[in-house]
A = this chain, B = another copy of it.
Amino acid sequence: MLFLVGLGLWDEKDISIKGYDIVLNADEVYIEFYTSKLLGTSLEKLKKFFKKDVKVLKREDLEERCYEIINKAKIKNIVVLTPGDPVIATTHLSLKLEAKKSGVDTKIIHSAGITNAIYSLTGLHVYKFGKSATISYPYKNIISRVPIETIKKNREINAHTILYLDLHPKPMTIKEGITLLEKVDDDNILENCYGVGIARAGSDKPVVKCDKIKKLKNYDFGPPLHCLVVLAPRLHFFEFEYLKTFASAPDELESFVD
């Protein structure tokens, strides 16, 4: 059996009791830091916590060489630990699909993912989030237009946009993310946008700041992981009140309340 076990958002204690029990009873335990990072702990702390060896898998072990793991799971209980919840990344779904084709069942043990934390840290209405996107580092000097187009279309339907930030080669900051967005913002839509920057969600001291996107670029969010929400043009009063209380939103934001 192949178990994909979510580690949650911050440190070793964010795993569920169900997930913890599965790790204790597993024949072999692996971990991957490719699809996300767990910055409130370390590999050494995790080994100590589980009292087990935990081997690190690289991208290629999860993709091209996934059959090595799948073949082991035919005769043993194999756990792959993953920061956050093991569902957002296609890598995990693809592993589950390949395992099934080889006759190996996969069990996913969920945990909190970044999206949950974004909802509770921003107080924005879940129903008002439109499509999300990831701001990636330029590829062959080309900056993807997907994030800016997603913001544009979401704002047309009064929807908020979650922007995840690239992790490779190193976790992107909000400043870097906004700088990339600006470079493809031909219609200058960011000029009038407000956003919420979030750093270290899931930790005891997350930083959450709401302001004009252009101002967030120069706000000091501290170390990663970062992510960014671009607000819908109109807000519910509750959303404004929450952002003012928990994300130091500027008073002028109230003029966008319906």
Contacts and interface: CB of A to CB of B under 8 A. Distances in A.
Interface in A1-58: 6, 8-9, 11-18, 20-21
Contacts of A9: 110
Contact of A131 (B117, B119, B127): B127
A113 B97 CA distance: 23
Interface of A: 6, 8-9, 11-18, 20-21, 85-88, 90, 92-94, 96-97, 100-101, 108, 110-113, 115-117, 119-120, 123, 125-134, 153, 157, 159, 202, 238, 241-242, 245-246
Nearest to A126: B88
A148 to B, nearest CB: 14
B246 A120 contact: no
A202 B110 contact: yes
A232 to B, nearest CB: 10
Given A17-B15, A100-B245, A116 B110 contact: yes
A202 B62 CA distance: 24
A44 B112 CA distance: 25
A113 B17 CA distance: 16
Contacts of A202: 110
A14 B20 contact: no
A183 to B, nearest CB: 21
